[in-house]
Amino acid sequence: MSDDVTRDWLGQPSDTPRPDPMRAVREHGKPVLPKRFYEAAGVAEGEGGFRLTLDGRPANTPARNPLAAPTLALAERLAAEWAAQGETIDPSRMPVTRLVNTAIDGVAPRMGAVAEDLWTYAGTDLVAYRAATPERLVAAQADAWDPVVAWAHDALGVRLILGEGVMHVDQPADTVAALRRAVSAIDDPFRLAALHTLTTLTGSLLIALAVLHGHLDADAAWDAAHVDETYQAAIWGADADAASRLAFRKAEFVAAAEAAALAG
């Protein structure tokens, strides 16, 4: 057996069959998770950073790149996710691992393309689109978003134009350029992957950048990005399914913020 202890799917050992999709269908869509095949997860320093080890053997990403982090703190967080797995390996409970895999396999080879994808949020940022009514929601949006807009102006030179409703707002060229500079300045694939996750989960590049720069913590940023949902829940009551989906997405968001901080 080679020293590669991960394969085409997160955590799948080289001598374990691939999950059977037909079996998943027969079991009402419940995914077939691989059994845990290791006793201990650890970290070993080497070329390219701090590599995850499983029973002392170096682990790889799904694309068979070394599964390594640039800092010991992030590598230890990665190892903690693997150590916390039970009898099976459940990727839904491994957001940091998924982000690190994405950073290594997907972001590092195409930093420019990922940055360009983020630039598109310059013209559609959540915090630029405000409600006209009711007053309670207008005030809640202002309380949550105005400080982010002010921070972006002071820290990044972003002069955001605000609008009401869903009609597109054209941002000034210097605003778009400032946001492009802020994203392009990120030369680390782990932090860029985290920024992409933070942005897509909230619809706000400004909120994501505020987290990346340490201006907002993850909980405050998540609350700011979900002012509308909080208002609707207060008026109409919480929906259990929607709340469950939001909780899962928040866990992804918090993990991305943590990974960004631990990556340095």
Intervals of CATH 3.30.2180.10 along the chain? 1-93
**pLDDT tens digits, one per residue of 39-87:** 999 999 988 899 999 999 999 999 999 999 999 999 999 999 999 999 9
The kind and range of the H/E element at 184 are: helix 173-184
CATH superfamily of 1-93: ATP12-like (3.30.2180.10)
Q: What's the whole-model pTM score?
A: 0.88
CA 225 – CA 184 distance, rounded (Å):
23
Specify the 3-state DSSP secondary structure of 129. strand
Residue type, 142: A
CATH superfamily membership of 110-262: ATP12 ATPase (1.10.3580.10)
**Alpha carbon distance 186, 246 (integer Å):** 28
d(CA 151, CA 18): 48
Query: From residue 237, how far is each of 101, 126, 154, 234, 247 by CA, in Å?
Result: 38, 23, 38, 6, 16
* pLDDT tens digits along 88-135: 999 999 999 999 999 999 999 999 999 999 999 988 999 999 999 999
All CATH 1.10.3580.10 domain ranges of the chain, comma separated, are 110-262
